[in-house]
Amino acid sequence: MYFIVTGAAGFIGSKLVEGLNRRGVDEIIAVDTLAHADKFKNLADAEIADYIDYEEFILHLDRYEGAVTAVFHQGACSDTMETDGRYMLQNNYEYSKRLYEWCQEEEVPFVYASSASVYGAGPEFREDRSCERPLNVYGYSKFLFDQYVRRRLKLKERRAQVAGLRYFNVYGPNEAHKGRMASVAYHAYQQLLSAGRVKLFVGSDGYGNGEQRRDFVYVEDVVDVNLWLLEHGAVSGVFNCGTGRAQSFNQLAAAVINAAQGTMLSVKDMVGKGLIEYIPFPPQLVGKYQSYTQADLTRLRGAGYTREFRPVEAGAAAYVAELANR
């Protein structure tokens, strides 16, 4: 019996494959597209049973009838600046619907990636329709599928577990291929190496320079929630996946710098030393930018998930150590 991971060569998908391997699972069908070939590096050390192209997979689901234990659906177009709405909805919405329906027919658990982008500018981040106002078509595609799942849960048509995780700002190893869409932590480390300083945006939406706040969640914690759901098949629904703790971009940058340099400097000291520099806010992001996010974990905790999430100080230290080793 196989575990299927879509987006398996990507950031979170490859870490999920790694997490399954740690549990002794290697009967994994890795589904992705290698149009950007460098992603293969994320799977080079993984143990999998087979690899299949993302588009080919959905056309031949019948090959896997009766042979699948669970599906982790991480594959999606995650470019928040994508302007082709037809492509976004076909890739993120229609594909997800087809895979969900197949899992229900096969009575296979289906755990999928949603996004905190469904909340838009907030200010509340609860899994409730009143809080959901996506700012871009990426967020809308994720919102639409969440709504699709919710309708089916209400109709009580479900034959197998279905759980969506609204990822907040995930950072950690295996994201280098994402380029400009990689995390602030990744870019901070690269800027520190190349230029000796980290660039953050000046203040916006009432926040001071670098004081915009996000719920930054380390990728290993995200993997842990996914695998916990696999162990708790009675848990279905849409859940936030973040730390429940908003921290500033300044705090994240400082955590990266201190971890990289073995220091304990404050943000003020770093600004004074030129280690943090504030740059103009990009006009193309005006009205499309989340200056504040913080996961409400009430529903996830209520479902029984009790483990703690790393703050940026701990997550950045682990991430910088990994980047330095590579």
Q: Hey, which residues are catalytic here?
A: 138, 178
CA dihedral 234, 236, 242, 245 (to 10 degrees): -80
For residue 88, give the nearest of 110, 69, 115, 62 by alpha carbon: 115
Contact 103, 61 (CB under 8 A): no
For residue 258, give the nearest of 179, 207, 321, 326 by alpha carbon: 321
Contact 74, 7 (CB under 8 A): yes
Contact 224, 307 (CB under 8 A): yes
Contact 186, 194 (CB under 8 A): no
CA distance 323 to 79: 23
Maximum separation of any 2 CA atoms in the chain, in Å: 62
Instruction: Give the chain's radius of gyration (CA, Å).
Output: 20
Helices (H), 204-325: 219-231, 249-261, 267-272, 298-302, 312-325
Contact 211, 205 (CB under 8 A): no
For residue 114, give the nearest of 60, 170, 68, 154 by alpha carbon: 170
Q: Supply 104's token pair.
A: 């229900």
